[in-house]
Chains A and B, each alone.
Chain A
Amino acid sequence: QQPVQSPQAVILREGEDAVINCSSSKALYSVHWYRQKHGEAPVFLMILLKGGEQKGHEKISASFNEKKQQSSLYLTASQLSYSGTYFCGTKTGTASKLTFGTGTRLQVTL
């Protein structure tokens, strides 16, 4: 089964914060976050490994709760360029394929 993301969609004003959640029913080995703009390829944001630390850079960070099999992506002081659909991709072991979540559509307005 694919991971479930919440919310499905969110609209923000520029400068506001947002949290996107990704939940899996399976034990996770790693979580990979991507942002995809309409008609373009998914762009890698960050990876969280089991047993690893919270990752982040500047205004985008993420956490991984291994006990709950959940990851959260934090967007602070959002910019117009943050608009797009965010996907979490999960691995349940060292197998290579990613199983992508249901997606969260984020729109940042002025």
Chain B
Amino acid sequence: DTGVSQDPRHKITKRGQNVTFRCDPISEHNRLYWYRQTLGQGPEFLTYFQNEAQLEKSRLLSDRFSAERPKGSFSTLEIQRTEQGDSAMYLCASSATGSLSTDTQYFGPGTRLTVL
């Protein structure tokens, strides 16, 4: 098992452009999370899915942000009309639920977004 993967690892874009990130969770994990992390801070929760259902969205997530997990496997996070304040590391994590599971979240390497 290769763990959580994210693509791209780095993205530089101009203000006003749209960007899309992809996350592939650990294969048997049914929950997938998106967090955002800025320099010197801990990760901030954005949204999470259980299978293909988006169960919670943070109030931090403006209308410019949308996430999908169409078949309950990989997920995409899209930011429309990017702003300089969107510059951050976007982290994806996954976990498994079940009677023997502690719902431990394992993180991917992240996508670093820079908005010029």
Contacts and interface: CB of A to CB of B under 8 A. Distances in A.
Interface of A: 2, 30, 32, 34, 40-44, 47, 49, 87, 89, 95-103
Contact of A100 (B43, B102, B103, B104): B43
Given A32-B104, A41-B110, A98-B105, 20 more contacts: A30-B102, A34-B107, A42-B43, A43-B107, A44-B105, A44-B106, A87-B43, A89-B105, A95-B56, A96-B31, A96-B50, A96-B55, A96-B56, A96-B95, A97-B48, A97-B56, A98-B45, A100-B44, A102-B42, A103-B42
Contacts of B105: 32, 44, 89, 98
Nearest to B44: A100
List the 10 closest A-B pairs by CB distance, nearest first: A100-B42, A41-B107, A97-B45, A87-B42, A42-B107, A41-B109, A100-B43, A47-B102, A103-B42, A41-B110
A92 to B, nearest CB: 12
A105 B48 CA distance: 28
Given A42-B91, A96-B31, A49 B45 contact: no
A96 B104 CA distance: 10
24 contacts: A2-B42, A30-B102, A40-B109, A41-B91, A41-B107, A41-B109, A41-B110, A42-B91, A44-B104, A87-B42, A87-B43, A96-B31, A96-B33, A96-B48, A96-B50, A96-B56, A96-B103, A97-B33, A97-B48, A98-B105, A99-B45, A100-B42, A103-B41, A103-B42
Contacts, number: 54
